[in-house]
Structure 1
Amino acid sequence: MTTQETPSAPTIAPSARRRAIVSSAIGNGLEWFDFGIFSSFSLIISRLMFPPQSGAATLMVAFASFGIAFLVRPVGGVLLGMYADRAGRKAALSAIILMMSAGTLLIGLTPSYATIGIAASVMIVGARMLQGFSAGGEFASATAMLLEYSPRGQRNLIGSFQACSQALSFALGGAVAFLLLHNLTPLSLQQWGWRLPFLFGALIGPVGYYIRSRVDESPEFVAFINQKRRTPQERLSLVDIVRRYPRELLATLGIVAVCTTSAYVGLIYIPIFASGALGLDAGTGQLGMLVGAVVLLLMSPLTGYLSDRIGRRRVMVPAMLLYGVLAYPLLASLVNAPGAVSLIRFELVLAFLMSFFWGPSAAALAEAFPVQIRSTGMAIVYNLGAMCFGGLAPLINTWLTKVTGDRLAPAWYIAASVVLGTLGVLVMTQRESAAQEASLHA
């Protein structure tokens, strides 16, 4: 099934486009900042907020508390995506950012297990679930807004600002964690220092809400609503979307799989693994995350621009394959000779390759679906992929490493995601090429 064309939208003023970019990126950035700092301090949080554990159990509890948010992301994504496709992108995005900041604030203010007992565990889990529910709708609705404000020849470039906001948030989260770890005593960090990033993140919510309240609704969505009023159209249910768009859903799920795996294994799990299992100090682990995030921040707009010029397939597929091939020797180098140099080399090389499929990915996902189901379609694949290949990846890789005894198991996990991602890009670009050829002969 080919993507339906929507009515032409009115000319967009550059200032309106800039506001749309900023408003879309700020919430996406807050989501990843929240998730990044939670991962950075997950060991401290697991010790303070849950019943006492020791050794490997502490690491498992930390990754479980991190991954719990991803179990509710698909639910939040579908419900908020359907809301965005019916009430509009602006209404959904404004509600989402308030929910996200509320969950972040709750984490920052929750008393410890030693103070209020099991209620601390319940509050942390509840806060993570609220973060997950709201984050489930964030990427899809924000990316839909971005795409619908973008001229056709710049969709990959403008869509790459989603990757930039994610990378900036990783970099900011890594920098904050690095500074706290190096400038506070372990006692101060445990007593109050770890709470500071969450309280700071919560302040972004009201600012983001103010910015989003001043953005006009997506012109393409407005054009669709106006056409719908003139010619009533069928309202598709979730079952209808799955039944009518299986090719788009499966192909984009593959793209999400490799993007989320690269983020949550490469940028989050490996630095924690290096600190917890390889003996590196926590500050070095955060420095590795920071290096990788900065590379993504600088490179993603360039790869988005390149995709607009030569096509997504030529940019994304070679980088994915090389990423899958190099993950094993780079991880082996880190495991066999743990140190700051080997960790930074791992993050530097893989983040460079990641940028080539991160930059164009947002536009690839958004263009796969017509405007009337765009937020819902993206929410399904993004959150399902994020749950299976992203948020649960640290927990799964910890389990794989423990069961197999192979500390290089994460490299095979990465390789599996690369296969799915490559197939997804090939399917989507083949469909796009066929559509373009058909239009030329029409």
Structure 2
Amino acid sequence: MFPPQSGTAMMLVAFASFGLAFIVRPVGGVLLGICADRAGRKAALSAIIMMMSVGTLLIGITPSFASIGIAASVIIVGARMLQGFSAGGEFASATAMLLEYAPRGHRNLIGSFQACSQALSFALGGAAAYLLLHNLTPAALDSWGWRLPFLFGALIGPIGYYIRSRVDESPEFAALIEQRRHVRAERLSLLQIVQRFPRELLGTLGIVAVCTTSSYVGLIYIPLFAGSQLGLDPSAGQLGMLAGALVLLVMCPITGLLADRYGRRRVMVPAMLAYGVLAWPLLSSLVNAPSTMNLIRFELVSAMLMAFFWGPSAAALAEAFPVQIRSTGMAIVYNVGAMCFGGLAPLINAWLTRMTGDRLAPAWYIAASVLLGTLGVLAMTQRRAELHEAQQHA
């Protein structure tokens, strides 16, 4: 889809086009978050899935650069930006609805299914890529095979729209709508949200930083890095991603349940610190002795630790904001964090590795995100304690 270039340069171009979608995510997140907070979660989620489906279909049917030249690059970038715009509102709106249906005392468990859905998507993506790499010749894969996951993925759009357009609004949001009928509620602008909730925004941004870094560096960049820089077979990278995603899929509900019982801080912070400490020796082992087993070990250990802060993260973000601005607040932090620490992370890590010559650079990037995540969890748990104390005095 792009002009032919050298291997390393082509990887940078690919990561740049991947990262472009994350630049528009904050815009889509805020606009769709405002829509979800005013028109309803159902309307926003129905529109979001159709936009994502159209963007995915465009990628699957666009002719190659050899056929239509630079137009192929333009269409692909446009499709990625449409995906990014719609994805910007997905997490916030879906999480808001999910948590607003959850009974108190079980919100970490119910919220963990948001993380499960992301893990399932990584697992399905990794499985699809592995099957294609393993069963098709390079010529067939380059010619038409790579399009199959996008074409099948686009089929989810109509099915998802049918389901989402028929679901009821969450009880909390329905109560807010009823209240608005009798009392003219204050509608906060984006600037007012930033001014009134700086601690919530910064605290949750730290949580998003470590969660998105762990996914886009650990599950996406490292497997591709192992194939392009360490000489492993590309299918080994997809197998490693699949293994890590399956661990997350199984473990996230368990960690959500533990967070409901023992508190988020006790579950999330030790795992974050262990993840930051172990990233260097795990990556060093892979770099010094590249093998499929070392890659899978990296993914399995990383995913086991990631699950302890992935599982409770959705509830932590949702409970930070009141219902009337919940989607907008989460959209701001999630998409700014996803842009800076997620979508651009593969590009930044590829650039850092190339410029410094240090193939362990991703481990330091992970360690920095862990510091932000730990501070974020501590800030939010302290904030909850202060609010609880204030309510008792009131």
Q: Same fold (TM over 0.5)?
A: yes
- CA deviation digits over 1:45-98, x for unaligned, max 9? xxxx11121131111111111111001000000000001100000000000000
Aligned counterpart for 1:431 among listed residues 376, 383, 387: 383
Q: CA deviation at 1:234?
A: 1.4
- Give the % identical residues: 81
- Which residue identity does 1:186 align to in structure 2? P
> Which residue in 2 is equivalent to 1:84?
36
Matched, 1:374 2:326: yes
Matched, 1:313 2:242: no
Aligned counterpart for 2:5 among listed residues 34, 53, 64: 53
Q: CA deviation at 1:431?
A: 1.1
Aligned counterpart for 1:158 among listed residues 104, 110, 114: 110
Aligned counterpart for 1:384 among listed residues 325, 336, 351: 336
- Which residue identity does 1:149 align to in structure 2? Y
- CA deviation digits over 1:331-373, x for unaligned, max 9? 0000000001110110010100000000000000000000110
Rounded to whole Å, the distance in 1 between the matches of 2:392 and 2:196 is 25
Q: CA deviation at 1:434?
A: 2.3
Matched, 1:225 2:177: yes
Q: CA deviation at 1:133?
A: 0.3
> Which residue in 2 is equivalent to 1:289?
241
Aligned-partner SS, 2:239: helix
**How do 1:204-219 and structure 2 match up within 5 A?**
204-219=156-171
Aligned-partner SS, 2:82: helix
Q: CA deviation at 1:238?
A: 0.3
Matched, 1:264 2:191: no
- CA deviation digits over 1:296-352, x for unaligned, max 9? 000000000110011000000000000000000000000000001110110010100
- Which residue identity does 1:357 align to in structure 2? F
Matched, 1:395 2:347: yes
- Which residue identity does 1:120 align to in structure 2? A
Q: CA deviation at 1:230?
A: 1.6
Aligned-partner SS, 1:406: coil
Aligned counterpart for 1:199 among listed residues 151, 175, 191: 151
Rounded to whole Å, the distance in 2 between the matches of 1:180 and 1:79 is 37
Q: CA deviation at 1:435?
A: 2.3
> Which residue in 2 is equivalent to 1:246?
198
Rounded to whole Å, the distance in 1 between the matches of 2:83 and 2:370 is 28
Residue segments in structure 1 that go unaligned for 5+ positions in a row: 1-48
> Which residue in 2 is equivalent to 1:185?
137
Aligned counterpart for 2:359 among listed residues 390, 407, 415: 407
- CA deviation digits over 1:367-387, x for unaligned, max 9? 000011000000000000000
Residue segments in structure 2 that go unaligned for 5+ positions in a row: none
> Which residue in 1 is equivalent to 2:120?
168
Aligned counterpart for 2:53 among listed residues 83, 86, 101: 101
Aligned-partner SS, 1:152: coil
Rounded to whole Å, the distance in 2 between the matches of 1:176 and 1:320 is 30
Matched, 1:304 2:304: no
Aligned-partner SS, 1:151: coil
Q: CA deviation at 1:441?
A: 4.5
Rounded to whole Å, the distance in 1 between the matches of 2:346 and 2:241 is 15
Farther off after superposition, 97-106 or 428-437: 428-437
Question: What is the root-mean-square deviation in Å for CA atoms of aligned residues?
Answer: 0.8
TM-score (norm. length: structure 2): 0.99
**How do 1:14-93 and structure 2 match up within 5 A?**
49-93=1-45
Aligned-partner SS, 2:79: helix
Rounded to whole Å, the distance in 2 between the matches of 1:274 and 1:88 is 44
> Which residue in 2 is equivalent to 1:45?
none
Aligned-partner SS, 1:50: coil
Matched, 1:237 2:189: yes
- Which residue identity does 2:35 align to in structure 1? Y
> Which residue in 2 is equivalent to 1:12?
none
Rounded to whole Å, the distance in 2 between the matches of 1:427 and 1:228 is 32
> Which residue in 1 is equivalent to 2:230?
278
Rounded to whole Å, the distance in 1 between the matches of 2:372 and 2:181 is 40
- Which residue identity does 1:165 align to in structure 2? S
Rounded to whole Å, the distance in 1 between the matches of 2:385 and 2:197 is 18
Farther off after superposition, 97-106 or 210-219: 210-219
